[in-house]
Structures are given as C-alpha cells and as structure tokens.
Amino acid sequence: MKFLCVDCDRQMSFEERAVPGDGTMAAVFRCPACGRKTAMLANPMETQLVSSLGVKVGGRTVPEANLEGIRTGVASGRDEAFEAPPPTRPPTVRWSVDAVERLGHVPSFVRGMVKKIYTEYARERGIEEMTPAVMDSARTDLGLEGM
C-alpha cells in the first residue's frame, strides 16, 4: 500500500500512526516535496484485514488479535475481557478477600467491567488495596449505586 502525491508524483512518506485501542487505526503520510499530508483511517475490520495481510504501517505490524480478543470475550464473558492490554498496565491494585467476596455478588457478565471501574478508581487515587470501604466511596463518587 502506497500513497502518492498527485501534484508532485512522489511517494508520500509515513509520518505518524495511532492505534486508539478500539481496533481502529489512523496513519498520516506526508509528501516529502510539497509537505502535503494525507491520512488513512481504518475501522476495526479493515485494520484486522491489513494486519492479516501482514502489511506493515510505519515499520510495525498492526497488533493482531484485536477482534479475536473481543470475540472470545463476548462469547465466554471472561472477567478480563474489559481489562487494559498488559503493556500499558499501571501498577496493580490488590483486592482484599472481603472486596473479592463482594465483587462475587456482581452479575458475572458485568463483573469484569465493574472490577475495572473500581480498579481505575483506586489507581487514580493511589490506593493500593481494594476493600469494601473503597468500593463504597467509589460507588458514591461515581454514582454506581447497585454495583
């Protein structure tokens, strides 16, 4: 895949690439002669297609298994389906026995999401251990009554 500047008849060079994490991809190419920029946007399906063809954008292959992860997550309702991918993960929050017990009362299909919300809440405040008390304040602060 190449982008050409029509005016200059030059191949545009890769400038910037962004993978927002929702499976989409954006890439910016720039004409070395006139500086004109063009951007390519790909939806998750196109991104996956590009990835499966082994096309490299900006010297790196598009991360694989984006759709794969979503699919298995939806099918099995895994708790970690809503967790962030490992490389960008901030320090973990420990869950106390009581907190885990209480999380167990949350319906399994939303448990992963609820756990993530609580975990993010704790991380943002530098709280290292999740306890029922932290869950209480998170509920109040975030308006999560019933979780």
Binding site for Zn ion (CB under 5 A): 5, 7-8, 31, 33-34, 36
Our measurement of the distance from residue 63's CA atom to the centroid of its chain's CA atoms, rounded to an integer in Å, reads: 11
Considering beta carbons, is residue 36 or 123 the nearer one to Zn ion? 36
Q: d(Cα 95, Cα 133) in Å, to the nearest integer? A: 12
**Least distance (Å) from Zn ion to the CB of residue 17?**
20
Considering beta carbons, is residue 29 or 121 the nearer one to Zn ion? 29
Write out the H or E segment, with its range, that includes residue 13: strand 13-18
**Least distance (Å) from Zn ion to the CB of residue 42?**
23
Considering beta carbons, is residue 8 or 19 the nearer one to Zn ion? 8
Q: d(Cα 7, Cα 110) in Å, to the nearest integer? A: 53
Q: d(Cα 103, Cα 125) in Å, to the nearest integer? A: 20
**Least distance (Å) from Zn ion to the CB of residue 36?**
5
